[in-house]
Amino acid sequence: MSQPLLFSPLTIRGVTLRNRIVTAPMHQYASHQGFATDWHLVNVGRYAAGGCGLVMVESTKVERRGCGTVGDLGIWKDDFIPGLARIAAFIEAQNAVPAIQLGHSGRKARLTRPWEGQKPLTADHPEMFDWDGWDLIAPSAVPHSDRMPMPRALSRAEIPELVAHWGEAAARADKAGFEVLEIHGAHGYLVHQFLSPAANRRNDEYGGSDANRMRFALEVAECVRANWPAEKPLFMRLSCEDDAGWGPDQSVALAQELKAKGIDVIDCSSGGILERSPMDSVRARQYGYQVPYAEKIRQEAGMMTMAVGHIVHADQAEAILQQGRADLVALARELMYSPNWALDAAQKLGADPDFTSVPPAMGWWLGKRAKSAFEGVPSTYQRGVAAG
- The set of catalytic residues is 189
**Does the CA dihedral 342-348-350-355 come out positive or negative?**
positive
188 close to 108: Cβ distance less than 8 angstroms: yes
Provide the 10 A C-beta neighbour count for residue 204: 11
Distance CA 151, CA 148 (A): 9
Which helix or strand (DSSP H or E) is residue 238 part of?
strand 234-239
Name the CA radius of gyration of the chain, rounded: 21
Contact 348, 7 (CB under 8 A): no
Degrees, nearest 5: CA angle 179-185-190: 120
Q: Are strands 10-12 and 15-17 parallel, antiparallel or unpaired?
A: antiparallel
**Beta carbons within 8 Å of 32's beta carbon, 6+ residues apart:** none
Question: 68 to each of 5, 63, 105, 106, 272, how far by Cα in Å?
Answer: 37, 11, 5, 8, 14
